[in-house]
Structure 1
Amino acid sequence: MSDSPRLAGKRALVTGGGRGIGAAIARRLAADGAAVAVNYVSNRSSADTLVAELTDKGYQAVALRADVSDPDQTRVLVDQVVAAFGGLDILASNAGIEHFGALESITPADFERVFRTNVAGQLFATQAAAAAMTGGGRILLTSLISARIGVYQHTLYAASKAAVSAMVLNLAPELAERGISINAIAPGGTATDMAAEVASRYIPPALRDASAEAVIKSMTALGRLAEPHEIAAVAAFLLSPDASYLTGTTVEAAGGQR
């Protein structure tokens, strides 16, 4: 049996990789042996700090700026990864933006902004990455538990994440012809700084007088939020050879959230 890490020799791109779940995925893929490109759009400091952390541990990592809502920038990003690492084997598409709003408040600009990043951004990241991959490539997009459960005034965001699950289902047979698998991960509530900013919006109006701890316990079988590294562990499995018979699937990592 080989003692090599299971992703030794693989080249990975993590979009939205500078913090939160994306950073946890980058750390896990690096620990599993992959060279990792950490993509960011605005927070260069976080991305650089993460890359310094990884390289100090002896891992291969670079930080690359690109706004994945712009397909031209995404294509350049993939070209930069290929130039840096000599190829691309793994895409973990994690970049996304949040949105809450009542029906009457949603504007065409809101729709364009959310779907441009959460749906088009992931579609064109997949397009660019697949073009650079050979057989054995693995792609993971990010959906969310909100695509399945109702959350108050979360319609636009949830719709964008449901579209992601539809994309992986329909892209699977096409990419399988090229030896590439594609899946999605749907996290539930996760303890990140981004989530903390909107955590109260996920609580149903009828429960907003209750404590956050009580609400979390009532909504999840495990009775707690996920830690980013727990979501990253599921992502790493889906991007590894161990998931060789999985494609076109959205895997929930939600602690039994209901």
Structure 2
Amino acid sequence: MTSSTDRVAIVTGGSGGIGRVSVERLARDGLAVVVHYAGNKDRADETVASVVDAGGRAIAVGGDVADEHRMGAVFDAAEQEFGGVDVLVHTAGIMPLSPIAQLDLDTFDRVQRTNVRGTFVVDQLAAKRMRAGGAIVNFSTSVTRLQIPGYGAYAASKGAVEALTLILARELRGRDITVNAVSPGPTATPLFFEGKTPEQIDGIAGANPMGRLGTPEDIAEMVSFLAGPARWVNGQVLYVNGGAA
């Protein structure tokens, strides 16, 4: 495996929430980072600036995560700017909530396109183009175990992400590339807070054995581990949720 100062990471959804904190953590670990964004270029540029101001290396590249041509260009940029790709951290996803009986099918299709097809697209590119010693870190959710009403479409998409993760890990036999999925529990990000009352947020935090919500930094700690020293962790779904059932 190349040294951390020679390693290059692509972080999808790297302009906010868990993605941004993961970018900053990987940069502190010595990796050059490609900050992928879907629509918010200004926020991605701010993330890049925070890395560069701290002495790191980063660029921002936009694109629809489910578009293989746009995401191919993200990998092209990583190779042209930094020499290759060693780590993929795929945080990009959407989470509209609705009971299954009331969910509009167009919304269901949009969730599956972004979360399932998007994962397939970037994982396929990584499988073809990642250097030996690499690490693919997909994102699932603890909701696949918690079965919270309203999360049907999202949990279904993340169940598919877990299946892709476990199969790809075995398909990459002999490549020295690990493939794992991180499954956060409720985490204090804008995506989590959207549409919830203060009472709901307090209830969710209080139900956790640790008595709080997770933070993006908690999740980035696992990303750093899987992207770097965790060479014997492969084909796993790791629940990072403070002990939520």
Deviation, 1:213, is 2.6
Match of 2:137 in 1: 140
Q: How does 1:69-108 map to 2 (within 5 A)?
A: 69-108=66-105
Which of the residues 231, 236, 240 maps onto 1:249? 236
| Residue type at the aligned position of 1:67 | D
Deviation, 1:214, is 4.2
Which consecutive aligned stretches of 4+ in structure 1 deviate over 6 angstroms post-superposition?
Answer: none
Which of the residues 16, 22, 26 maps onto 2:13? 16
Percent identity between matched residues is 37
Q: How does 1:173-252 map to 2 (within 5 A)?
A: 173-200=170-197, 212-218=201-207, 220-240=208-228, 242-252=229-239
| Residue type at the aligned position of 1:255 | G
| Residue type at the aligned position of 1:185 | V
Q: Structure 2: how far apart are the matches of 1:34 and 1:77?
A: 16
Q: Structure 2: how far apart are the matches of 1:151 and 1:137?
A: 34
Q: Which has the larger radius of gyration?
A: 1
Q: Structure 1: how far apart are the matches of 2:80 and 2:146?
A: 41
Q: Structure 1: how far apart are the matches of 2:63 and 2:6?
A: 24
Match of 1:27 in 2: 24
Matched, 1:51 2:48: yes
| Residue type at the aligned position of 2:155 | A
Q: Structure 1: how far apart are the matches of 2:45 and 2:200?
A: 37
Q: Structure 1: how far apart are the matches of 2:212 and 2:182?
A: 19
Q: Structure 1: how far apart are the matches of 2:150 and 2:206?
A: 22
Superposition RMSD in Å: 1.7
What is the TM-score with the length of structure 2 in the denominator? 0.94
Asked whether the equivalents of residues 40 and 47 of structure 1 are also in contact (C-alpha less than 8 Å), the reply is yes
Q: Please give the secondary structure, in 1, of the residue aligned with 2:148.
A: coil
| Residue type at the aligned position of 2:227 | L
Q: Which sections of structure 2, spanning at least 5 residues, go unmatched?
A: none
Q: Which sections of structure 1, spanning at least 5 residues, go unmatched?
A: 1-5, 201-207
Q: Structure 2: how far apart are the matches of 1:37 and 1:211?
A: 35
Q: 1:223 to 1:175 in 2, by over 3 A?
A: same
Paired residues, number: 244
Asked whether the equivalents of residues 7 and 29 of structure 1 are also in contact (C-alpha less than 8 Å), the reply is no
Asked whether the equivalents of residues 190 and 227 of structure 1 are also in contact (C-alpha less than 8 Å), the reply is yes
What is the TM-score with the length of structure 1 in the denominator? 0.90
Deviation, 1:71, is 1.7
127-136 vs 11-20, greater mean Cα deviation: 127-136
